[in-house]
Amino acid sequence: MAVIRIAFVILAILLMTLVVLLPHLVGLALSALGLSLGARIAKWIPVFWHQFTRRLLRIRIRVVGRPLIGEPALFVSNHVSWVDIVVMGAVLPASFVAKREVGTWPVIKYLANLQRTVYVSRDRKTAAKEREDMTERLGKGDSLILFPEGTSSDGLRIGEFRAAFFSLAELKAEGHALKVQPFSITYTRVDGFPVTRRSMDKAAWYGDMDLAPHLKDFLLGGPYEATLKFFEPVTIEQFGNRKALAQHCRRLIVEGNSEALSARA
């Protein structure tokens, strides 16, 4: 049964990928030509794909608050697992900001590329070009998702936010200060039961965990529940510097994660 379940999920995802591939490529081509219809297609096809996939994976998503959709924004969140891509992608028509190595990881790179991920490096030689690319994306009305911890965590605790990552908040969107919306992601139910410290590892992927066994265990498990809590958008101008903005976002996200874990029963 385990083999059948895994084979079914993989086959269904592959078939859906083939279904959306052509319209997605058409959307990207039209967007490159400056046509607004193409941009809308390119944004929403991944959402449709992630909605389909999260149902296959038996993930229920609970959204608290109102995500900023319809204008450029920088979404800031904690990072728990590769599963975050599916969960967030099913709710937000936005692209991830990720380190360049992510584009080389099996499975993960496909999810990232589908979401039109912006890859960045720590190389100062490419920093100006990467900043220019992100400014261009925001100018076209795109939104970006940032994980300021710089890595994934165990789902129970949240690491420190790196203030340097918030240099993105200094970018302009359509000539105005870029809105930054913090939100928390919390896996509150695993295998249909309230999450525990032990069962959280079935959803969380962090540290030196191998991807293949984690992927297998996740596919054979479920149902799961993820809670996304969105807070009020802000701008860096309200805080004066990156460090203060980073501290503000982390404080809210820690609170949101703690509240979701406390209410998981």
Which pLDDT score, from 0 to 100, does residue 114 have? Answer: 72
pLDDT tens digit sequence for 27-68: 777 777 676 776 787 788 889 999 999 999 999 999 999 999
Which pLDDT score, from 0 to 100, does residue 67 have? Answer: 97
Which pLDDT score, from 0 to 100, does residue 70 have? Answer: 87
Which of these ranges, 2-16, 41-55, 107-121, 151-165, has the smallest mean pLDDT?
107-121
CA dist., res. 121 & res. 265, Å (int): 41
Is residue 185 included in any domain, yes or no? yes
Which CATH number does the domain housing residue 253 bear?
3.40.1130.10
Which pLDDT score, from 0 to 100, does residue 158 have? Answer: 95
User: Per the structure, how many domains does the chain have?
Assistant: 1
Is residue 102 included in any domain, yes or no? yes
Is residue 227 included in any domain, yes or no? yes
Beta bridge partners of 157: none
The DSSP code sequence of 48-75 is: HHHHHHHHHTTEEEEEES----SS-EEE
Is residue 28 included in any domain, yes or no? no
Which pLDDT score, from 0 to 100, does residue 125 have? Answer: 66
- Which pLDDT band holds residue 265 (cuts at 50, 70, 90)? low
Domain limits for position 77? 58-262
The DSSP code sequence of 195-262 is: --TTGGGGT---TT--HHHHHHHHHHS--EEEEEEE---B-GGGTSSHHHHHHHHHHHHHHHHHHHHH
| 8 A C-beta contact, residue 233 and residue 141 | no
Is residue 252 included in any domain, yes or no? yes
Is residue 193 included in any domain, yes or no? yes
CA dist., res. 111 & res. 117, Å (int): 9
Q: How does strand 179-190 pair with strand 193-194?
A: antiparallel
Which pLDDT score, from 0 to 100, does residue 201 have? Answer: 94
Which pLDDT score, from 0 to 100, does residue 122 have? Answer: 65
CA dist., res. 64 & res. 110, Å (int): 28
- Which pLDDT band holds residue 83 (cuts at 50, 70, 90)? very high
Of 99 and 192, the structure prediction assigns the larger pLDDT to 192
> Chain-wide mean pLDDT for the chain?
88
Is residue 35 included in any domain, yes or no? no
Q: Residue 5 is encoded by which pair of tokens? A: 């379940």
Is residue 224 included in any domain, yes or no? yes
Does 156 score more than 70 pLDDT?
yes
pTM over 0.85: yes
